[in-house]
Copies of this chain bind each other. A is one copy, B any other.
Amino acid sequence: MKKHNFGAGPSILPQVVIDQAALALKNFNNMDLSILEISHRNKNFIAVLEKAQNLALELAGLKDKGYYALFLQGGASTQFLMAPYNFLPIGGTAGYIDTGTWSSAAIKEAKKLGNVNVLASSKENAYKNIPKNVAIPEGLSYVHVTSNNTIYGTQFKEFPKVNCPLLVDTSSDMFSHVVDYSQFDLIYAGAQKNIGASGTTLVLVKQDALGKSGRDIPSMMDYQLQIAKDSLYNTPSVFSIYVSMLNLEWLQNDMGGLKGIEKVNFAKADLLYNELDTNKNFVPYVDKADRSIMNVTFNLADESLKERFDKLCSEAGIWALSGHRSVGGYRASLYNALPLESVQVLVDVMKAL
């Protein structure tokens, strides 16, 4: 039976991407070698990397706008450290908006390198909302936001206007809908949701914003060095980048880019939130205005329904619907590769409960 994969990440990928990746694993580009067995400096892989970089910049609308696309290791958690290394001078202060677990983790790392001003937090409200009208003081080295909060299911619908660099962790909603990415100086996202396979992290960085922290940055943490070496300062995560290239190609060519995918993603989210708003057996978790189109969190109105709901889900092939272990309840992740059909199956089960 086909699984309807609502997992929060690593998450569903298009079948065409998986099929192509499996071919390359056996025989890449008719080289009679696996993609795992060739040098990262082989021209066949360089072409993959360049294509992935170009697709990322094109999809983000940042082509020829002074941005550089990197595919680095270490996940967003390493970006929590690289961001202050590169953007926070010694003695400077960074502003962070705290919207959940991952914001908090980013704040923790920045504090190891300098001063952090937590400009706003929704912690007291169990992270059920995105803080609005946040006052931005003068003199910050940068402001950092988490665009989508995978665990709680909130999402920024618009971003604060700041007069310093704006940095964003978009790990769970990158390329999910049309966004003016040019408002950011640094955009980063772990690949394992909308970009590709775990093991690589997409970093889009505005080049003229770099080189101002005055720090002696460790090589692997230095965006300028990574740019100078074109993501090949050392051996990258070759296969993860290949899968990302295939997946971004699918998004661009098969789904019509961000304009195309946002229609599908809005339709999926509308279908599910409408059911949650009208079905008395379910209680959506977050404030209506701040609902994520990628991670839909909810609880049962009556916990005694749990056994029956879980059984119906299982019978329908619904997979990985549990909420994050830190909050419980349910979470339906509706990443790009999840078809509308899967959401319809979930809604049908909800109606049948």
Q: What is the total number of copies of this protein in its complex?
A: 2
Interface centre among A7, A31, A192 (most CB of B within 10 A): A192
Cβ contacts under 8 Å, A26 to chain B: 18-19, 22
CB-based contact B25/A21 at 8 Å: yes
CB-based contact A11/B37 at 8 Å: yes
State whether the Cβ of A100 lies closer than 8 Å to any Cβ in chain B. no
Q: How far is the CB of A236 from chain B (nearest CB, A)?
A: 7
CB-based contact A109/B34 at 8 Å: no
CB-based contact A219/B75 at 8 Å: no
* B interface footprint on A307-322 (CB within 8 Å = 1, 0 otherwise): 0000000000001100
CB-based contact A73/B73 at 8 Å: yes
Known: A18-B25, A237-B73. Contact between A10 and B33, CB under 8 A? no
Cβ contacts under 8 Å, A176 to chain B: none
Q: Which of B25, B31, B81 contacts A22 (CB 8 A)?
A: B25
State whether the Cβ of A108 lies closer than 8 Å to any Cβ in chain B. yes
CB-based contact A3/B33 at 8 Å: yes
CB-based contact B218/A81 at 8 Å: yes
How far apart are the CA atoms of A22 and B239 in the complex, in Å? 12
Of all chain B residues, the one with the shortest Cβ separation from A192 is B235
State whether the Cβ of A112 lies closer than 8 Å to any Cβ in chain B. yes
Known: A13-B36, A32-B1, A81-B218. Contact between A197 and B239, CB under 8 A? yes
